[in-house]
Each structure stands twice: as C-alpha cells, then as structure tokens.
Amino acid sequence: MMLHPNRNRWSIFRLIGIQIFIFWSLSPAFAMQESPSLPWSFLEQHRAHILQLASDDEALAFFHSATTIDPESSRIHSKTQSAPTQSNLPAEIKEAIMSYLKSLAATTHAQTFQEILAKPSTTMLPSSTDLLPSEAQLQWIIKQPTLQTLKPVIDFYDRLSAWSPTTASPALPPDDEFAKFASYYDQTYQDWDGSPLSWVSIFKKNGQKGIEDTLLEYWQTSDHLATQHASSSGIHNVYVHHYIQTRLLPMFRANLLTHVIQFEATAYATAWKAWRTIQEWQQQEQTQFAITRLCGTWRWIVHNHQNHGDRKMTLTFSPPDQPSPSQIAPTTIEIHGDTVYLKWIFPQGVQEDSLLLSNNDTHLEGTFKNSLGPHGSISGKRLSTCRS
C-alpha cells in the first residue's frame, strides 16, 4: 500500500499535539492550588541558586537558608526567621527536599530544551554544555529515579546538535527521481521511534554515518530508473542531504520535543509529590506543637448564653506521643500565633472553640458555639503542665 510522503510527519506532529494537550490540560490544576507558596513560586524566587545545586549537602543547606519551617504555620515560606537545623529533619523529609529541588532544576532544563526545539528546524542547536549549568548538577539530578530519563534526552540532544544544519538544503536536479527516492524511504522506514529499523533507532545507535549509509540503499535495491544515476555521486549526495534536511532532522527534533514534554510532566509530578510530603509533615509538626503548648491540666469555666449557666470542668491534654485520657479529646487542634482553634465531635453534634492563649500559655479566653444551638464564653486556667 502506498503511503503519502507527509503521512509520517503528520503522525509525528499529531503525537506532539497530544502530548502538549496533556501537559497544558494538567497545568491549570497546578495553577489553581490555593497555597500562596506554590512550588513554582519558590522556583521563580530562587531559580538562579537552584540551578547551581549539585549535591545533597548543597541542597539541604540551601533549603535551610532559604526557608523557614515554622511550627506555628502550616506552610513553608521564604525565610523570615531562623529555621530548624538540618539535623532536626527526619530522613524522609530530607529526601523529599532533595527530590523537590532536583525536580525544580529538571523542570527548568526541560523548559529550556523546549524553547530551543520549538524554533525553526533550520536553526542551529546550541551545545547542551551551553544550556546546562554543569555536568555535576546533571549527575545529581539523575540520581533521582523518576528523573533518570533526562540523561537519554540530553544524549540524543547532543547527537542532534552536533548534526544541526549549517547550510540550506541544496537544490534538487530538474527530474522527479527524488519523489521516488523519498517514497521508498517513507514506506520502508515508517516507524519513527520504537523499532530497531526506525530512523531514531538508527540515529541513536550509529549516528550521522548510520543515517547516511542507510540512505544509500535506494541505489542498491531500487529499479532501473534509479540505477541510471548510480554513477553520479553528486546526485546521490544531493538526494541524501535534501532528505535529511527536509524530513529527518525535523522528525528528530519533533521526536526529542515529545520526550522533553514527557520528561517535564514527570518532573512536575515528582516535585508535587515531594512538596506534598513536606507540607504534610509540617502539618503534623504544627499539630504536635499545638498539643505541646496546650499539654497539661486545665480548669475551664464555660458560660452558656442560652441558659446563663456556668459549668466548671477539668480538661487534660496529653503529650503528642501519649494516648489521650478517657475524656473526649478534640478532633482538631490548630494554633496560629496565640490563637487556638478546637473542634470537638460528639455523638449528638459538633462544637467549635475559638480561644486566645495569654500569660505565657497559662490562660485561655474565648468563645464556643455548638451545632445544637448552645454558645457562650470559655475561661481557662492552667493547673499543671505535662511532665517531661
């Protein structure tokens, strides 16, 4: 069955279109996150420094210096006060930080390659050494299992940049032999990526010479119309050069662009996973810190505005690593500054307390509201602190 010469190229660009659609359809989901300290905000603020990182120690030291993990906040912010020392961080959080920073650097590199490859195919490709900060950073990035595909992307880019066109495609002779030449190769080497006989596989395995040798098959296997030119090496070279310039190099760039887009999506996913791990850990730290501030025994006086009655009670908040006493414990404890929010879930309803710590965490004052209607004030005094 005869194939149109442009069908392969149409398949290539259609696949690229699908990849771009997937990437951009995911991007709004990233952009709509509510956190004011999104991963990409951190990248924009610290891009120059992130692109100089080349080791785990450098990454942890930079993250320590650039951020504050404040136990009174639920987010990691740009540094405004002293942050915890690196040794205080759990091993999995250190790993998440390194994964996060590697992914941010990798995302930037993917975007750079996309910008270069999106230019006209006649544009020369700069060397990867001109685009990447250092080989040391590349080796550091690809230690992350999910980011190891960056290495073959760069290897293919290096092969392609070494073969970038330096001159315009030569003019074809005034005959129709090139159409037959191109049709032969369009039909014989239809797969553009996966099989051993695809152009991409030949190029990756044998480089430019492998491509040029393959393009000499036509005069060895074609019909007598081609053999009329067998003695003319000049025409052979013109056909080969024109096919490479007009078909293969654009296809290789399109193939590489597809893999770069796929890699960028992977880097995005890796960064988000690491970011969420850090955020979830910080939320746990905040909860533990809140419980520590409340830890101990309190005498509460609750005034119900519905019946104007007072109720005195003793409440005990256990340390974070110990089970709660037999009394019902809050399902939610949040502390922001000296403001305390407690949420209690009872079989018959929900109660929320909005309180304020004062006098070196020895007093609590505020209000409560109950889903069943009661509401009023709370006055608390600490009777004892937790035993260490």
CB 200 within 8 Å of CB 259: no
- pLDDT, one tens digit per residue, over 270-327 is 999 999 999 899 888 877 887 888 889 999 999 999 888 899 999 888 887 776 666 6
Answer positive or negative: Cα dihedral of 112, 113, 119, 123. Answer: positive
Region for residue 361 given its phi and psi (left: phi exceeds 0; alpha: psi -120 to 50; beta: otherwise): left
In Å, how far from its chain's centre is CA 61? 21
Answer positive or negative: Cα dihedral of 191, 243, 260, 265. Answer: negative
Give the Cα separation of 221 and 223 in Å (integer): 7
Lowest mean pLDDT among 44-53, 116-125, 242-251, 316-325: 316-325
Side chain identity, residue 204: K
- pLDDT, one tens digit per residue, over 64-84 is 888 765 444 434 444 433 344
Q: What is the pTM of this model?
A: 0.71
Segments in 32-55 forming alpha helices (H): 39-50
Give the Cα separation of 147 and 145 in Å (integer): 5
Q: Does domain 295-385 have CATH number 2.40.128?
A: yes
Annotated domain spans of the chain: 7-286, 295-385
* pLDDT in the model for residue 169: 65
Tokens standing for residue 257:
């662009």
Greatest Cα-to-Cα distance within the chain, rounded to the nearest angstrom: 111
Side chain identity, residue 256: L
* pLDDT in the model for residue 36: 40
**Residue (of 319, 268, 331) closest to 114 by Cα position:** 268
* pLDDT in the model for residue 71: 43
CB 43 within 8 Å of CB 104: yes
* pLDDT in the model for residue 141: 97
* pLDDT in the model for residue 197: 82
